[in-house]
Amino acid sequence: MKNLQAIFKYIKNYPGLVAAYFSFNILSVLFSVISLGMLAPFLMLIFKLDGGDVLDMVGGKGFNPIQEIKVQVAKMVETPGGAEKALLMICAIIFVAIILKNTFAYLSMYYLNPIRNRILNDMRTNMYNKILRLPIGFFSDQRKGDVMSRFSNDVNDLEVSTISVLESLFREPITILFYFTYLVMLSPQLTLFLVLFLPVAGFILGRVGRTLKKKNQRVLQQFSNMFSTIEETLGGIRVIKAFNAERKVKQRFDEQSETIYHLKNKANRRRDLASPLSEALGVTAVLCILLYGGRLILNNDSGIGLNAEDFITYIAFFSQLIQPLKGLSTASFNIQKGAASIERIEKLIQTNEEIIDAPNAKTLDSFEHSIEFRNVSFAYEDKVVLKNINLTIPKGKTVALVGSSGAGKSTLADLVPRFIEATEGEVLIDGVSIKEYTIHSVRSKMGIVTQEAILFNDTIANNIALGVEDAPEEAIVQAATIANAHSFILQKEQGYQTSVGERGSKLSGGERQRITIARAVMKNPPILILDEATSSLDTESERLVQEAINHLMSNRTTLVIAHRLSTVRHADEIIVLQKGEITERGTHDQLLARGGLYKRLIDMQEVS
């Protein structure tokens, strides 16, 4: 049960809750056995009323918890008015046992529910924490819909299929053990039949259940495809409407939904077979015991060590075994069904974190001299993106990366904050490889403004103060002022407490970009990485954003990814990339005079 090991890994974190659950569970089952065990003394008392000798009826069956009570009942019945007293005593014991049984059953569930909810909560937390630690490259390969599906559908499926049957998984074996022990005490001979029959029943149920895991894996994969479709639809709804593509995307979604419908039907039908099949096998066993044991009693065969009332008690106990056996088989089916969800969740949690701190990583306390790329190459699978890059960015200087799309500009910039790792060579800060510093301390010295203004569904103030603990309001306002954002923020109905909406949808493009610049100002980093933040803005917004960027770049070391070449004329050095290699480098005037690729790019933009 490899999949259950993943569940137990979480359960062992809460030993107190587990101990309380098992203690109350055992007490509940114990008093259930006592209440049912009183059936034999009751039947003995009833048979006495038909003229039997009670002490003869008790006989010698060896010790069991009810035996002494039967002796006391037998003695009590022999006294005047003793039958009524015995009946009252039996009813009182049964009443108290039932009350205690249900009280302890409630208490066991009282402690089981936190265990179940903790497991799910811990799984979600571990997945989320893993996502935060995984490198950027993981999300380039992995569809967002698949990740979202693991958080929602896989966890929900796990809750329904596996976590919900933890009660059966823990309680039923205890119930079976107690009841089975009592059956052995009543008649070892008849109980031997159970030992021979149960493996046969288990084999039959196992054969049916093994296919559930594969069927559910296909269901979950289809759910991942559906979530990806939904995520793409929500992100591209404008394009879908603009190109009248509603019918096409609807057809794609309908096909996925119909596939899920048929796959879930097959999986659920197989799962639902567990309950009637296990009940049928249980009833078959009862009938066999009735036939075998009944014939021996009718023939006065004492070999089974039972009299009539004990045989009826035996049947009653065995019939009570059917429900926990049925629950256990259903739990086994559900666990098989949930195995696929557990595997997908654990696969995400166990994903290798390719970019981690070195064992003895030190803190980058300050940036003093330069950033250096030394013989840096980067390849993605078989595709070479960067090749033998050598570049130094002195402190306080601005270096611009230009080139056609796919030249490797963003990849080169991503190496500095360790979003990705160089395949060959190394990146150094102040002459020390960035791998020798902690990732947190390296990124704490950097501010990044991307072409796409990424905001979170929160207030303007919280978006500006992202990553800054307990940011004072004055500092937020100052950062917004430097970023040319303060004036438009004050015009909002709730000012800095205005919600920006999903991905900043309540703000214009220029407003969103100025908020992201204010976020970088708030961090006050010595190193800036700018992925041309004005390329998608109108003229007025571009002017305001460019002014904010100029304020931000003042007295900072800056690496600029340039799309509009007019914005990097004043860079200290311009690096021209082509197919992952540096083909030209120099100032704007030097590169124009050379008449190479940079000049051709400039001419093309001026013509356009």
Q: What is the pLDDT of residues 212-260, one digit of tens each?
A: 556 666 776 677 777 777 767 766 666 676 667 777 788 888 888 888 7
Asked if pLDDT for residue 279 goes beyond 80, the answer is no
Per-residue confidence band for 533, with pLDDT thresholds at 50, 70 and 90 = low
Q: What is the pLDDT of residue 49?
A: 45
- What angle do the packed helices 308-349 and 246-272 form, to 10 degrees? 150
Average of pLDDT values for 58-75? 58
What is the rounded distance in angstroms from the CA atom of residue 552 to the CA atom of residue 478? 12
* Adjacent-strand bridge partners of 577: 582
Q: Are 245 and 366 in contact (CB under 8 A)?
A: no
Asked if pLDDT for residue 167 goes beyond 80, the answer is no
User: What pairing do the DSSP bridges indicate for beta strands 424-429 and 432-433?
Assistant: antiparallel
DSSP 419: S
Is the pTM higher than 0.85? The answer reads: no
Q: What is the pLDDT of residue 52?
A: 44
Asked if pLDDT for residue 489 goes beyond 70, the answer is yes
Q: What is the pLDDT of residue 308?
A: 67
Average of pLDDT values for 451-473? 83
Pick the residue with more confidence: 230 or 410?
410
Report the topology of domain 143-351. ABC transporter transmembrane region fold (1.20.1560)
Residues 6+ apart with CB under 8 A from 541: 508, 509, 510, 513, 534
Asked if pLDDT for residue 99 goes beyond 50, the answer is yes
Task: Quickly count: other Cβ atoms within 10 Å of residue 84's Cβ.
Answer: 11
Q: Are 374 and 432 in contact (CB under 8 A)?
A: no
- The phi, psi pair for 80, rounded to 5°, reads -60, 130
Per-residue confidence band for 603, with pLDDT thresholds at 50, 70 and 90 = confident
Encoded amino acid at 115, one letter: I
Q: What is the domain partition of the chain in residue ranges?
A: 13-116, 143-351
Q: What's CA 527's distance to the chain center, in Å?
A: 36
Per-residue confidence band for 118, with pLDDT thresholds at 50, 70 and 90 = confident
What is the rounded distance in angstroms from the CA atom of residue 121 to the CA atom of residue 10? 10
Question: Kind and range of the H or E element at 475?
Answer: helix 473-482
Q: What share of the chain is helix, strand, coil (3-state, %, to 5)?
A: 65, 10, 25
395 three-state secondary structure: coil
Q: Are 533 and 513 in contact (CB under 8 A)?
A: yes
- The phi, psi pair for 135, rounded to 5°, reads -70, 160
Residues 6+ apart with CB under 8 A from 111: 17, 20, 21, 24
Q: Which of 500, 414, 419 is nearest to 464 (CA)?
A: 500
Asked if pLDDT for residue 408 goes beyond 70, the answer is yes
Q: Which of 118-132, 191-205, 310-324 has the least mean pLDDT?
A: 191-205
Average of pLDDT values for 29-53? 67
What is the rounded distance in angstroms from the CA atom of residue 354 to the CA atom of residue 271? 39
What is the rounded distance in angstroms from the CA atom of residue 24 to the CA atom of residue 332? 23
Q: Which of 33, 58, 34, 32 is nearest to 44 (CA)?
A: 58
Question: Kind and range of the H or E element at 110?
Answer: helix 82-133
Per-residue confidence band for 107, with pLDDT thresholds at 50, 70 and 90 = very high
What is the rounded distance in angstroms from the CA atom of residue 583 to the CA atom of residue 589? 16
Q: What is the pLDDT of residue 51?
A: 41
Tens of pLDDT along 281-305?
667 766 777 777 676 666 665 455 5
Tens of pLDDT along 491-517?
888 888 988 887 788 888 888 888 888
Q: Which of 72-76, 301-305, 444-448, 532-536 has the least mean pLDDT?
A: 301-305
Per-residue confidence band for 61, with pLDDT thresholds at 50, 70 and 90 = very low
Q: Token pair for residue 305?
A: 């060590």
Q: Which of 86-95, 173-182, 297-306 has the least mean pLDDT?
A: 297-306
